[in-house]
Chain A
Amino acid sequence: MEELAYNELVTQNAKLEKIQGLLQNLLDLEAAAIPEVFRSYTFPVEEKTRMIDSSAIPTFPWISCVISNDGDSVVYVFINEVKNIREQDIMDDSLQALAPVKYAPILVGESKTYNMGFSGIRRLYFRCNEGDESQIRIFSAGKRRV
């Protein structure tokens, strides 16, 4: 009988450890969304796609950012990647079914917020239409680097 009770206590302890792990994961997820470093940047935008990452701005990765288009023309912004291979394949097929599918720009005077909830914004791509120029302001929120 004592052995049975001991075994149950061992099992109970294992369950508690599992619960502790789950709680820690939940806590980590919540903590990951709390920003510590706020910065703002201004970039000129041209027709040629420009990529910025941690080599250009060391505060990357960001939890969230707000991008404001202050220029004279629309700006296309892509977070982390422009598209993936799967989209490439299916997008090509879909062009016949629902044309035209294009990427949407941020209009002049417009602001757009991108919030990932964790430090997942690793790089930005931005560009204008051919022959156009613009200027964007970026307000970033991220974690302090260790």
Chain B
Amino acid sequence: MSMENFVLQGLNDQVVSKKCNLDDIAVSLKNLLDLRASSVVEIFRSYSFLITDKTVCVDQSVLPTLPWISCSIANDGPGDVFVFINSKTDIRDHESIYTQRSNTTPLIMGETKEYSGESSVIEKLYLQCGQGYTANIRIFTEGKRPVKVQEVGA
């Protein structure tokens, strides 16, 4: 191989190598852009529920605006409300049962709690009061528009 060809081969390798890096950068930037765009809110809704001691699961079949990016839950009482996001318990939660730790803390009357996923990760809610109690809650939601649909005014 002549010196000229050797240099050109080296240049070519370098260019190919840079191209690969640029591909990686483009993919990373696209992912970053998608991630940033996924946190941009498109629709706001608010709902009011009466919660009893029976667990209520609120999912997309009940509220089609789910999944939500974030939601704010206000407990107007009189009872305390247990709120579970996406799942009631998972395998790891069982550990706390064995160690006698309480893994559920209620939302006390008059309290407002914000749950923010920064992306459309809130897919369902489980809501429940303590035995024999009821509570009124208000949920203010922020989410993405699922499909392009016609808007309906007041």
Contact = CB atoms under 8 A, between A and B. Distances in A.
A115 B41 contact: yes
Contact of B47 (A11, A12, A103, A115): A103
Given A87-B65, A120-B41, A98 B8 contact: no
A82 interface: yes
Interface residues of A, number: 54
B88 interface: no
Contact of A80 (B46, B48, B65, B151): B151
B154 A120 contact: no
Interface residues of B, number: 51
A92 B152 CA distance: 15
Given A15-B23, A94-B63, A86 B44 contact: no
A101 interface: yes
Interface stretch (A18-26, A35-43, A54-62, A135-143): A18-26
Contacts of A97: 61-62
A87 B146 CA distance: 11
A81 B56 CA distance: 27
Interface of A: 1-2, 4-5, 8-9, 11-12, 15-16, 18-19, 22-23, 25-26, 29-30, 49, 51, 76-88, 90-91, 94, 97-98, 100-105, 107, 112, 114-118, 120, 125, 127
